[in-house]
Amino acid sequence: MHYVYKKAHHTLLTLPKSLIKSLLNNFKPIIANLNQSLQQKYMIIMDLMNCRLSQSKENVPIKRKKQMRENLMKIKFVNKGIEMVNLSRILNLRDVINTLPFSSVNKKKRAIPSICYLYNPPIRSKVLNYSKVLKEFKLDDEESFPSCECDSSEFKDPYHNHVITGNLNLIKNDRLRNLLSKGWGYREDPVIRWKTVKKEIHHSVIQLVHNMSKKYNMSQAHFYNFGWKIMEHVEYQIRNCKDRYEYKTKFVPVLKDQSVLKELSSLHQHYVLTPVDKASKNIAITCKAFYLKTIFNELQSGEVYQSTGLSEEEIVKMHHDFTKHFSFNQLSEFNTIPSIYMIPKFHKNPIKFRYIVASKSCSSKPISNAICKGLAKVREQRK
């Protein structure tokens, strides 16, 4: 399948769009008469064609030259109330701009800050449990693998005889199913709390005044009027929004709903939720016993990994001691050994797995980064 996809992709890139259009029209009636396995193959090619056609010049947004702003106002997106206040409008109001302590109008305009929202983390850490499962499980005693009830499950994979599925119908709770169908990168909207909105904006305005006074080498007092004026408009806007959007504040986020949490916890008890290979925002549900056994076998296979009697602390210390020979400092943030997890490849028949070794704060990271940079230099000089 992968070969067909690659070949089609390559061919389609070189064909004129008019030809692709006529091919697409001819494809549709032919596909309807094919059996299901072949249909899937052609659907992918049709997707590619549609994608290529949509890349026309009219669809490419015209890039406007970015207006250079001298200041940035960072603000945590604590809830949607932040958006409703519409800070960007407030910052561009004439009476707000006029409070800036510059005589030149152009300088005032350049000093109007751009807004930069800092978003809450996505649902990933709450719904995917693969790291937790491995951390809680000691992979050294085969007999301690949990049992499972996959045999009677309609979601059992016929080849592996365990549940390995991307079919979210396995989840009974509608709200949880709906949330997971949005992928692990989705961010839930927290309940709108106007007090939090005001507090957060106030905090950002204080920071902004501090940064601007530093930047222009002027005392903070010069920017107090500017800060007050912003807050005056913010408070007025919040009062307005409160009346208009009151009904929305009654909403309970999915991951705060007790029935959802109950089902999620039971799901985590029996299954491992991971991303999916080649569709990484999707969520796969795999039987926990099967998941642990498969990783155990991979680690035991002897091809890549070796078992050791050393503890994590001892390994980290060995790495740090070695790295210090090369005058590396700030090793304290690299104090773990990598962890392994696997994600299913649903596009393979039978389903296969991709093993991933995550080494975000791995103790050997500083030295591997340095070697990588060194090798890049060598490659550059050999060109």
| 267 lies in the site for Zn ion, by CB under 5 A | no
Phi, psi of 245 (to 5 degrees): -115, 20
Going by the DSSP 8-state scheme, the letter that residue 162 receives in this structure is S
| DSSP conformation letters of 2-15 | HHHHHHHHHHHHHS
Residue closer to Zn ion, measured from CB, 288 or 320: 288
Alpha-carbon dihedral sign for residues 48, 49, 53, 54: negative
Measured from the CB atom, the residue of 42 and 296 that comes closer to Zn ion is 296
Is position 197 an interface residue for Zn ion (rule: CB under 5 A)? no
In sequence order, what are the residues at sequence separation of 6 or more whose Cβ sits closer than 8 angstroms to the Cβ of residue 263? 171, 172, 173, 176
Nearer to Zn ion, 24 or 139 (CB): 139
Candidates 43-51, 142-150, 252-260, 341-349: pick the segment binding Zn ion (CB under 5 A): 142-150
Q: How far is the CB of 264 from Zn ion (least distance, A)?
A: 19
Kindly tell me which of 180 and 289 has the beta carbon lying closer to Zn ion: 289
- # residues near Zn ion by CB under 5 A: 6
Q: Is 320 in the site for Zn ion (CB under 5 A)?
A: no
Across 36-129, the runs of DSSP E, i.e. the strands, are 72-76, 114-118
Q: For residue 284, state whether it binds Zn ion (rule: CB under 5 A).
A: no
Nearest approach in angstroms of CB 290 to Zn ion is: 5
- Contacting residue, 96, 260, 276, 287, with Zn ion by CB under 5 A: 287
Measured from the CB of residue 297, what is the shortest distance to Zn ion in angstroms? 15
Residues between 159 and 188 that touch Zn ion (CB under 5 A)? 162
**Cα radius of gyration (the chain):** 28
- Considering only residues 144 to 163 of the shown chain, the ones binding Zn ion according to CB under 5 A are 148, 150, 162
Q: Please, what is the minimum distance in Å from the beta carbon of residue 181 to Zn ion?
A: 23
Stretch that binds Zn ion, among 69-77, 124-132, 271-279, 283-291 (CB under 5 A): 283-291
Q: Which stretch binds Zn ion (CB under 5 A): 229-237, 284-292, 322-330, 359-367?
A: 284-292
Query: Cβ of 30: how many Cβ atoms within 10 Å?
Result: 9
Q: What is residue 342's three-state secondary structure? A: strand
Q: In angstroms, what is the minimal distance from the CB of 317 to Zn ion?
A: 39
Cβ 285 to Zn ion, closest distance in Å?
11
Q: From the CB of 162, what's the least distance to Zn ion, in Å?
A: 3
233 touching Zn ion, by CB under 5 A: no
Tokens read off for 369? 């980064």
Determine the 3-state secondary structure of 259 from DSSP.
Answer: helix
**How far, CA to CA in Å, does 8 sit from each of 27, 42, 102, 348, 366?**
14, 10, 60, 18, 41
Nearer to Zn ion, 90 or 292 (CB): 292
Can you give the length of the chain in residues? 383
Q: How many CA atoms lie within 13 A of 360 on its CB side?
A: 3
**What residues contact residue 366 under an 8 Å CB cut-off, 6+ apart?**
323, 328, 331, 334
Q: Which is nearer to Zn ion, 40 or 161 (CB)?
A: 161
Residue 272 binds to Zn ion (criterion: CB under 5 A): no
Q: Which amino acid is at 174?
A: D
- Contact residues toward Zn ion (CB under 5 A) are 148, 150, 162, 287, 289-290
